[in-house]
Amino acid sequence: MTGAATLFAGDQPGGDWERIIAVQHAGSGLRAIVVLHSLARGPAFGGVRRVAYASEQAGLADAKRLAASMSLKCALAGLPAGGGKTVIFDAPTLDRQAAYTALGEVIQELGGVYVCGPDIGTGKPELAALRRATSWVNPVGNDAGRSTAVGVLAGLRGLLGVVFDDPSPSGRRCVIEGLGGVGLALATSLLEAGASVAGWDPDPGARARAAALGVELLEKGTLAMEPCDVFMPCALGHTLTRERCERAPWRAVCGSANNQLADRDAAAALRAREIAWAPDFVVNAGAVIEGVETTIGSGGGAAHERVVRGIEAIEGRCAQLLTRARAERRCVSELALEVARAALRAPVDLPPEPPEG
């Protein structure tokens, strides 16, 4: 293995990011970037995303955005952790198992300052390959997709309570963009709760599974123009553009995708049209809450209880931010960032150490 080498001279330790490490492994064809955004509150947590990026700079920019979002997510949730992210440049010649094992060696060499987990392109087989080389990976018993979905549902209840004075999704129409693991779990829970659910996914298999549950399948081109109570972005980020938000027939937005807003203009368009938005780094924190609580501090039943409490708290946190934004006539995205950045600088309450013996 060639090991890690810093290729981006302008992005070495310092500035707004703790560390940026470019990784290459000739034997497997691995090209990856590990970004550690903040270690102020504890080790950096973040998944491994495998995508066929158009360029190294595109991959680096994505990793930076996602790592920064993870820091905000951890701070708002009160976790003793910061944000990190790894991106792998996917290619037809990539030896996937060898590449993930090589990446695991690099993560192990970092000595616990970064704990990795699943993301787009990284599922159970890839996590198993990582675990062959590092112990700093999301525990086997964790289910990131399930935890994320439970957290989004908690955030949705908080949003519905503010917008409709009723936290129940029963009778609400929800449109889901992305019917993969998280999107499908959300669809299942929403249908069970009495909601009307429609959606779309580029994968025919995902569409078939959703249709079998009772999800109304839409076309990609008409998805964003489907009237609904809640639009739920559950795929890639930056899908909420200004143009889309200016025309959208939605009452609210709440989904699992990271970095949903394309820019500030999109946030302003949502506010101008009185479309409530549940900040993504508030509602999609379920997986990192589970990851941190089962990795740091005491384990067993105590960890499970902390996970449950942490995810349940998303409902109140989301409702509080939306209520305050309305009262102060502010854009909720700006308020959430302000609160998260303040939390990032605040002292950390560490979990108790496990008892001896």
Residue 357 known to bind ligand? no
Separation between Cα atoms, residue 133 and residue 116, nearest integer Å: 12
The pair of three-digit structure tokens given for residue 83, joined into one six-digit string: 């944000």
Q: Extract the runs of DSSP E, i.e. beta strands, from the chain.
A: 4-5, 19-25, 30-36, 44-51, 82-89, 114-117, 173-177, 196-200, 216-217, 228-233, 250-253, 276-277
Listed residue (3, 24, 22) closest to 12, CA to CA: 22
d(CA 225, CA 228): 9
Q: Has 179 been labeled as part of a binding site?
A: yes
The rounded distance, in Å, linking the Cα atoms of 311 and 353 is 21
- Backbone angle region of 185, left / alpha / beta, with phi > 0 → left and psi within -120 to 50 → alpha: alpha
Q: Are 143 and 127 in contact (CB under 8 A)?
A: no
181: annotated binding-site residue? yes
How far apart are alpha carbons 226 and 13 in whole angstroms? Answer: 45
Give the Cβ contact number of residue 259 at 10 Å.
Answer: 18
How far apart CA 27 and CA 341 sit, in angstroms, is 41
Does 183 show up as a binding residue in the annotation? yes
**N residues, the chain:** 357
- Paired with 197 in beta bridges are 174
Would you say 180 is a known binding-site residue?
Answer: yes
3-class SS of residue 173: strand
Q: Catalytic positions, please?
A: 85
How are beta strands 250-253 and 276-277 bridged, if at all? parallel
Detail the residues annotated as belonging to a binding site for NAD(+).
178-183
Detail the residues annotated as belonging to a binding site.
178-183
